[in-house]
A and B are shown apart, each in its own frame.
Chain A
């Protein structure tokens, strides 16, 4: 089996506080891998190490080895790396100064992934369809995204990430600020996208039910430490660690 992400002895300190302590795990290719854990356990930081957005926090000290899509992230060019890794954030953050269309088109256009306007149009439509948003916005592609509901904005952000044709898609609590119906839609988007193959999805969530609905693999992180990692069925049905069991029962938060 080959892996999209390999993490070895990863430690992160931010301002003297140990956010991640000695993490080691592997994310198999073409799966949905969910990182589960209570708020403040370092899950978001983990995602930001994988695509080097951690660089935006100058006081962060990182050690260990992280190999993503066959490249050592700390030796790779972060900009090139990020063109292969999409990311969706906890708060929907479509660019407010661009139209719906331009939000999706921005990445491919500025990175020179398309050769013609026609190709770009097709790509934007494809991404919006994959994000199950096309039907809702096809008549207002040139309006700013702020008129959309929170859930629609989040799906727009997913489309923006998908338009880059990422090999790895990172999602940082994508449904935390979204109503339940939109949350389900987003889960459906992920599951159907995974089914097509060619992409590995790594999602962070603090909700065990959500993790159980979408995941192939689950890692449980608590206070910056990896408590348990394994196939989703096994972690849910037969957790090896008492702490995992208690978290699944809703006793740890």
Chain B
């Protein structure tokens, strides 16, 4: 008798366990769907609406100037695309060497005052609202120069970007095991040689991630541009010290208008922006292999 009852008890328990297990699984799936859905929604709508725009506009959408508000002609985002390319280029030139050298310095001389301050400033700058950085660049660059410019935008973008790039680069350099550092120095390598011929190459994947994050920030940030680049809709490029357009800014401005054709252009621009991200990421990730340790 006892045998039977204890077996029943065990069966009952195992049933409860199985139900709990299934329930838990369902909850997990539902929650992760909930987290994933907004992202899916964003990407899907951009693909859908942006796709229609690109189909209608064709390649000339990437080249032409934007339409007038009530025109039936779609026009294009040529100036904004050129402006974004210029901004990314200038930002990378300003920001990446700075992030990289700062990362190398703080890892190699961690106990110096400069290193500690650098680390602290970079950590806190990732938290500052980027619109404030736009205002900062407005004060530092736009007002003295007397006009909006690509340069002012690049300065703002670089200030936004450096802490992110720096953090990735610093962490990947700092995580190189000490035994490799000792090995490099035991061969008589001077510090610059050890850093540039050994350490940065071991950490290349992390440094690359820093570069990618930097590029993404430079290409996608909108707020730092509000007070800095001025916008340039119908001309392409007049020089780095003149106003330029930018894709994120164009999306922001056009999406807020009531004009149908502007919204179509904004959707198309969003798709182009995402496509640019994708290309950069895929190409760089494929070309730089991770160092297994």
Contact = CB atoms under 8 A, between A and B. Distances in A.
A16 interface: no
B116 interface: no
Given A89-B179, A110-B193, A157-B183, A97 B201 contact: yes
A97 B111 contact: no
Interface string B181-204: 111111111100100011001101
Interface string A105-129: 0110011000000000000000000
Interface residues of A, number: 29
B186 A51 contact: yes
B180 A95 contact: yes
Contacts of A164: 187-188
B111 A58 contact: yes
Nearest to B180: A93
A85 B111 CA distance: 28
A56 B178 contact: yes
B293 interface: yes
A79 B189 contact: yes
A96 B177 CA distance: 11
A123 B290 CA distance: 29
Q: In the complex, which of the residues A93, A107, A160 has the most CB atoms of chain B within 10 Å of its own CB atom?
A: A93
Interface residues of B, number: 24
The SS class assigned to the B binding surface is: helix
B292 interface: yes
Nearest to B198: A95
B198 A89 contact: no
A93 B292 contact: no
B292 A107 contact: no
A82 interface: yes
Contact of A110 (B182, B186, B189): B189
B291 A96 contact: yes
A91 interface: yes
A210 interface: no
Contacts of A235: none
Nearest to A93: B179
A22 B180 CA distance: 30
A46 interface: no
Contacts of A111: 187-189
Given A58-B111, A96-B291, A160 B179 contact: no
Contact of B188 (A80, A97, A144): A80
Contacts of B180: 93, 95-96
Contacts of A146: 292
Contacts of B190: 79
A83 interface: yes
B185 A110 contact: no
A53 B111 contact: no
Interface string A195-238: 00000000000000000000000000000000000000000000
Contact of B187 (A80, A82, A96, A144): A82
B188 to A, nearest CB: 3
A107 B186 CA distance: 9
Contacts of A157: 183
A64 to B, nearest CB: 22
Contacts of B202: 95-97
Nearest to B200: A97
A248 B31 CA distance: 63
Interface string A16-33: 000000000000000000
Contacts of A81: 188
A87 interface: yes
A44 to B, nearest CB: 10
A234 B157 CA distance: 72
23 contacts: A53-B182, A79-B190, A80-B188, A82-B188, A83-B187, A83-B188, A84-B188, A87-B183, A87-B186, A89-B179, A89-B182, A89-B183, A89-B186, A95-B180, A96-B180, A96-B202, A96-B292, A97-B202, A106-B187, A106-B198, A111-B187, A160-B183, A161-B187
- Per CB-CB distance, the 5 closest pairs between chain A and chain B, nearest first, are A83-B188, A107-B187, A87-B186, A82-B188, A93-B179
Interface of A: 51, 53, 56, 58, 79-87, 89, 91, 93, 95-97, 106-107, 110-111, 144, 146, 157, 160-161, 164
